[in-house]
Structure 1
Amino acid sequence: MENRTDLWTRRTGENHALPPRLRLASTGTLTYGLPVREVLGVSTLADAVLVAGAAGLDRVVQRLNVMEVPDVLAWVKPNELLLTTGYPLRNRPAALGHLVTGLNERDVAALAVKPGAYLDELPAEMIAQADRLGFPLIQLPEHVGFDDILNQVLTDILNRQAAILARTEEVHRALVQIVLCGGGLREVTEELAALLGGAVLTLDGEQRVLARAGDPQDLRSLEDWLDGLPTPGLHGDRLAVPVAAGGLDHGLIAAYCPGGDLSETEVGILERAATVAALVITKQQAVAAVEGKYRADFLRDVLAGRAGEGSRVMARCAGFGWDLDRPVAVVVASLDLDPAGPDPATGAVSASGAGNADDEAAKLAQERFAAAWTAAVRRRDRSAAVASFAREIVAIVGLPAIGDLQDLVNGLVREVSSGESLVFSTGVSRSVKTPERLPDAYDQAVKAVRVGRQMHGPGATAHFDSLGVYRLLSLVEDTAELHSFVRETLGELAEDADTEAADLRRTLQVLLETNLNVAETARRLHFHYNTLRYRIGKLERLLGPFTEDPHLQLNLNLALQVLRMRGI
């Protein structure tokens, strides 16, 4: 395999040695410069001697300074090459050992000393301390002037920075050209892998792989590394760069180049690639939003029975990858996330009255909810129709070949619930065999959501066939009439605040459930037989002779069922 320098030369026509490894500053930003070992290679330092601190030759030099005062520690900066004749400490040579310690603590890159007029030789303690700390200590030749060193080293640093910027800018243009020619994340990732000579992964905000390129073994190694990655950044031969745009985290790009540490050039390339990837992702999101709205509008028309003639509808469905011409059922899922609570009439969630922050949070929650449901449905039925409406997700799924519809829906609910910290209610229609019956199935699923939430509160899953009498009660739009019916039928037993009334109502409910079997009711309620006989007498004085009147029994049963429906 050709090395990274050869690959760059082939692609750009330039022939420069790859720059040195970079150092990450405490803020996580890149700091460009020359390592001390390369600084020693410039012509003005050809006769310089590394006296001590060889372990620190990879320290990066970004700036130079001259020591003119004894208290220089207050003025030095990180990544500086400090030059001195020893004049400020000419009368205190023993202080040079402490000077090395102080410079090392302040992340100075190296100290270059020109002995002669003010310092005959470097003290042994100074040399020993520099070796212990891995702090490069350089002895300069007498014939070299500080101005020559300053000029040449600073020129090399600036030239290096300019070369890096030029290279990364050219890569940026090449990657943008890929996008302008219709390429996507796959093509960008493949180009990166070719440029770096390694493995590259592009991941979304949920750490799912969007594109990959490179040797399969290197890719597996990179994926294993990402699983334990605490924060993005440079880690020797591995690098992870965030993909961000508009203040949103869209994921990251990670690279692994075995055989050597990554350099400033590769980091710059990956940073530019992250910018291009953010452009691609935001473009895809915009396109997906338009397509999603188009699909949702069409599915809404299908479920409203106004999509047009059957064969035309099926043709458009096929264009979306949907197969509705088979036995299917409609599943509706609706978030339960309004902090103000459910609507008093229907139990449905409403965002009315919420501030802008709450509206934005609800929008983001709905987007996450839609993505989770779409992914879960697609894994089970590639031909299912899935769309996000304003307050709900609608899926038209085929009946499973193995198992039943209830198992399928329960699996969907479990997967979405485990992957997202969202509470939602789900409704399921009866199965239908023809597309013409889909509007009825959709109405059934919507009813199941509403009644399930009324009966069991947030997070309920209800099937239309299991609603029983609640299905009929949900058809009554005048809730005031239902309240009136409950008060007229149950009288003072309808009051929730009265604990004795609630206790008697529980006794009545169990009596009706056991078909007025006194012995079974006493056993369930843990009452003595005579105690229950006394309570039955009290209930008949309040409600009438319900033990003898089947019509009164029916009314009482209905009133109790209405009370069970939350929000009525």
Structure 2
Amino acid sequence: MTLEWLINSTELNNFKCVAGKNKLNNHLSSVNILDNPDVIRWIKKDELVLTTGYIFKDSKEAQINIIRELKETGCCALGIKIKRFFETIPEIMIEEAEKVGLPLVEVPFYYSFSEISKLIYNKIYSNELNNDLLQYSIINKLSSAFFENQGLDVMINELSHFINKSIIITDCDYNVFSAIFSLDYKHLINEIDLPKISPTEIASHISHTEISDTAYRKLKINDEVFRFFVLTLPNFTGLVCVLIDDNDISSYDKLLLEKAKNIISLEITQSNKAKSFSNSYHNFFFDFLISENARSEKDILEICNFYDFDYTKKRVCVSFVLENCGSDQHRNKIISTLQQAISNKFRDHHGLFLCANNNILSLFLFYKSEQSNIWAVNNTYNIISDFYNKLGDSISCTINIGISRCHSGINSIRTTFKDTLNCINLKKHQNDADHICCYTDKLEYHLLSTLPESYLLKLCEDTISPLIEFDKNNNANLIDTLRIYYQSKFNSTDTAKKLFLHRNTLIHRLDKIKELLHSDFIDNDRMFSIYLGICAYEILKD
């Protein structure tokens, strides 16, 4: 509804626009009465403001200021009733209104403000009712298409025709289920193949006025870039991508899409379209785990509920990372074998969840809230160690296994998974031969890795800088010797075996370390600080 409707197309006669005639297409959404200067702070955008002019009848300065202040509010127009305090609208107000671009309307004295307000609000309510009826009509058509098994193409064609936009329905990896294009974009589709759609490298702009699962994104169709309004379907069954041309999608159409998305999601699920692209359907939870994109609690709850992930309990994650598997077919076979073996092994466990991608299989074990974190991690380690030993040579590739800390709460689900990759990565850097590693066994490294580089450098300088300098100048390995000696609980025999050294050679090295660090290894606090310096050095080196 616009200002032009009020002036030219209503039962109210003799309304006259005396300034800002080029703004008659201003949107009109409501009415407000200006009878006090303080009311201006409450004026909303697109409101028609009505006044008798009493508050500014004796001041030209006030007349000018009112025009300027109302323009700043973004109101639709100012309507001044004549023959009450003004015979006609003052010329100075007309000039100022033209100058700033605010429509100024002469309101006949014989209309009360209540009559004008009633007419406008009746029109608004009538429009809203018509909009609701139209929405009901299209939703009814979509529902009928669903229950009569007419197919996704029929449903999307109805929706596209109604909002007059091209619409593409895809899974969450942009594999196309259905596409309907308006006449201007018919060249993007042929009668045989569905169009190819893919995200660009341009970052998405999230619309802060929309809910979290909507966004404006630039996507490629057959290598041609277009701007889309993208809406995520319930249970992450797919995406509704609406092609945006010169005219953006209206808030009314966005509301319609919000209502229609549930029916579209049901149609995709019923027709098993989502499952035809097995990667996106089965591995979307894994994609959620590995992604760095922020997710709201609402999003995470939807994912967990759809995949039956029990977010209410404590959890420990175990990731099996495959290496040297050869072909993709061989790797997929190993993943499948592992899944079956885990399902058999943990059949009687009180809760588990499995997900995978091409070379990582992640297992979540769930624990009761009264069970301690320490017990949960130790129990997980014991059963995974037993499971790995029983696998024997049945898995013909290298498997690295990482075990997370115990976590709880919905916002730490991805942290639980990432713990496993962090401890596997650390194990590789330290050339640890064990196939199973726990995050909690190397907690000092993980904690230090969160600190700034400058802090780590200072820690090295204050604890082991003489060893760093000696190793550098003499091609020696005193730092690694001290690390293994510390981790071997100061047992020189075990340390010599791990370093493949004669015990006397190790003793000579330890004496040199004591000399450089001015330490006799008796003070436990001092030794722990030195060990932290070694950990910081290794993190910096990596």
TM-score (norm 2): 0.48
Structure whose CA Rg is larger? 1
In the superposition, the TM-score normalised over structure 1's length comes to 0.46
